[in-house]
Amino acid sequence: MTSKLLPLLIAAALSGCSMAPDYHQPDTQSEHQGWTEASARQNLETAIPHWRSFMADKHLQELIDAALQNNKDLKQTILKVAQTKAQYRIQDSNRYPGLDVNGAYSRTLTPETATPNNRKQYATSSQLGVGVTSYELDLFGRVKSLSDEAMQSYLASDENRRSAVIALVSQVASAYIKLITDQELLSLTQDTVKAYSQTLELVKTRYDAGYSDALTLAQSKTALYSARANAAKYKLSVAQQKNMLRQLVGAPIGFATKDRLPIEDGKMLAELKVGSSSKLILNRPDILAAEHTLKADNANIGAARAAFFPQIQLTAGAGTMSNSLDDLFSSNSGYWSFAPSITLPIFNWGKTSANLDVAKIKKQSSVIAYEAAIETGFKEVSDALLGQEYYMEQWKAQQANLDANKDYYELAKMRYKQGNDSYIDLLDAQRSFFSARESELSSHLNLLTSRISLFKALGGGWSAADQKSTSVDEAVKSVEEMK
């Protein structure tokens, strides 16, 4: 009878019902509305380009590849995901009965002083068995709910891994472009120092000849020293930016970066002509991670509800037992045991009810976090779209302003040499030209950074998250190969 009952109980446990609420994705229509530009293009369905197509610069691609392989923070994130995956496997294993094989052999000697007949006595015992130890029959889905929670937690952590990869790709690109901009500003400042030095020599010559006064000479020196201070500032900025890029890459940078940003638009970063549909934004890894967390909390409610019902533990075993090894496998040496137990909560001062309340509150909090993640996504996309549009407008205006200031500077330099204008006019033209070039570079940097921000906000970089160097399976494999 027992031999027939055991398989039935196991089958019932494995097919236990779940007491978790049916999951329904929250209605987030209100979170989609009201965002400038993003909501206006909501119906557009456009795929995000591959990151290599978007970031066309070959040096930048090499840096990103190196960062994805060597960045220490990313490696830590991937290993944490691998750990979460292993924890899910541990939790999921509780859904199924585990079999243990045990064997024992003992031989004891009783001294003659402790026996009735004053003779030594030997006793031998042998045992071999297989059994199930403390397996919970999951009739009410508690164990399954805990397994579902662990699985969703793992999936959430894996989406966080994808977010980390996308963030790293964006950080390397931004740092690379900022380094090139700082290098160009340093070069501009050094050219300015050289120009001011030449001007100072000219002023000294005029001063010695009596054609210039001491005030003009002092102003020329002030301009030169100020330019030298700016040069030192940009030298520091370039050095620090190289250090930042080196840390992001996680390895020495094996080649020299470009000296200048490309004048033609699209040579370094392609323009993103994409829509911002709700479907596109809802596929962002951070939003998917928030939804997996919500699903995990939903499953946890099932475990909290199941705690109100009895928990049935099963301990069973079968094997052979004999006083001698020769008889261990004889027909009369078999034994079996079957010991189910049940625990029914009666009164625990509201602890079980409070645990259910906590689970429900956590789920509601996760709903809000999911909605907040969607709002953040739409805000970031809207900001990036606006930035891409208006930084382009600003950059074009700064280019025109730079051209006008260059003509102004060349004219002022010529007129000063001819004696038609004072040094004050030349100094003003030099400063205006430097400021215009600095503003043009800053606007170009802002434009390129806004494109990177849009690429990141739309969830770009998925292909980088799925390559070999960033995969969880590869991290697990490397751990298993450790001696």
Mean pLDDT across the stretch 194-201?
86
Asked if residue 196 and residue 287 are part of one domain, the reply reads: yes
Q: How many structural domains is the chain composed of?
A: 2
Predicted confidence (pLDDT) per residue in 137-157, tens digit: 888 888 999 999 999 999 999
Q: Cα separation of 199 and 180, whole Å?
A: 28
Instruction: With CA atoms as reference, report the closest residue to 318 among 104, 129, 133, 134.
Output: 129
Asked if residue 150 and residue 60 are part of one domain, the reply reads: yes
pLDDT (0 to 100) of residue 257: 61
Residue 128 pLDDT level (bands cut at 50, 70, 90): confident
pLDDT (0 to 100) of residue 395: 93
State the DSSP H helix or E strand holding residue 130, giving kind and residue range, or none if neither. Answer: strand 121-137
Asked if residue 335 and residue 359 are part of one domain, the reply reads: no
> Would residue 482 count as lying in a domain?
no
Task: Indicate the pairing of strand 121-137 with strand 99-110.
Answer: antiparallel
Is the pLDDT at 39 greater than 50, yes or no? no
Q: Cα separation of 199 and 194, whole Å?
A: 9
pLDDT (0 to 100) of residue 73: 94
Predicted confidence (pLDDT) per residue in 157-174, tens digit: 999 999 999 999 999 999
pLDDT (0 to 100) of residue 373: 93
Asked if residue 326 and residue 439 are part of one domain, the reply reads: no
> Would residue 409 count as lying in a domain?
yes
> Would residue 272 count as lying in a domain?
yes
pLDDT (0 to 100) of residue 37: 52
Asked if residue 152 and residue 130 are part of one domain, the reply reads: no
Q: Cα separation of 293 and 171, whole Å?
A: 26
Is the pLDDT at 31 greater than 70, yes or no? no
Residue, of 1 and 62, whose pLDDT is higher: 62
> Would residue 340 count as lying in a domain?
yes
Residue, of 35 and 317, whose pLDDT is higher: 317
Asked if residue 378 and residue 264 are part of one domain, the reply reads: yes
Q: Return the C-alpha torsion angle 89, 153, 49, 445, nearest 10.
A: -130
Asked if residue 284 and residue 218 are part of one domain, the reply reads: yes
Asked if residue 411 and residue 357 are part of one domain, the reply reads: yes
Asked if residue 29 and residue 166 are part of one domain, the reply reads: yes
Buried b (16+ CB within 10 A) or exposed e, 80-105: bbbbbbeebeebbebbebeeeeeeee
Mean pLDDT across the stretch 445-473?
82
Residue, of 259 and 74, whose pLDDT is higher: 74
Predicted confidence (pLDDT) per residue in 257-299, tens digit: 655 666 566 667 877 766 545 667 788 899 999 999 999 999 9
Task: Give the domain range for residue 320.
Answer: 100-134+313-344
Q: Which residues are 130's β-sheet partners? A: 101, 318
Q: What is the CATH number of the domain that holds 472?
A: 1.20.1600.10
In percent, the amount of the chain with pLDDT more than 70 equals 85
Asked if residue 279 and residue 183 are part of one domain, the reply reads: yes
pLDDT (0 to 100) of residue 30: 64
> Would residue 483 count as lying in a domain?
no
> Would residue 339 count as lying in a domain?
yes
Residue 93 pLDDT level (bands cut at 50, 70, 90): confident
Asked if residue 286 and residue 402 are part of one domain, the reply reads: yes
> Would residue 374 count as lying in a domain?
yes
The DSSP letter of residue 55 is B
Asked if residue 129 and residue 142 are part of one domain, the reply reads: no
pLDDT (0 to 100) of residue 118: 78
pLDDT (0 to 100) of residue 117: 80
As a whole number, the mean pLDDT across the chain is: 83
pLDDT (0 to 100) of residue 426: 80
Q: How far apart are the first and last CA of the chain?
A: 50
Mean pLDDT across the stretch 179-201?
88
Last residue of a domain, one of 321, 344, 367: 344
Mean pLDDT across the stretch 125-130?
78
Mean pLDDT across the stretch 190-213?
84
> Would residue 297 count as lying in a domain?
yes
Predicted confidence (pLDDT) per residue in 411-430, tens digit: 988 887 787 877 778 888 88
pTM over cut 0.75: yes
pLDDT (0 to 100) of residue 5: 46
Look at 24-38, 48-62, 421-435, 460-474 and tell me which has the smallest mean pLDDT: 24-38
Contact 316, 131 (CB under 8 A): yes
Q: What is the CATH number of the domain that holds 326?
A: 2.20.200.10
Angle at 253 between CA 250 and CA 254, to 5 degrees: 135
* Highest mean pLDDT, choosing among 115-119, 124-128, 378-382: 378-382
Predicted confidence (pLDDT) per residue in 5-26, tens digit: 445 445 554 455 778 888 888 8
pLDDT (0 to 100) of residue 45: 47
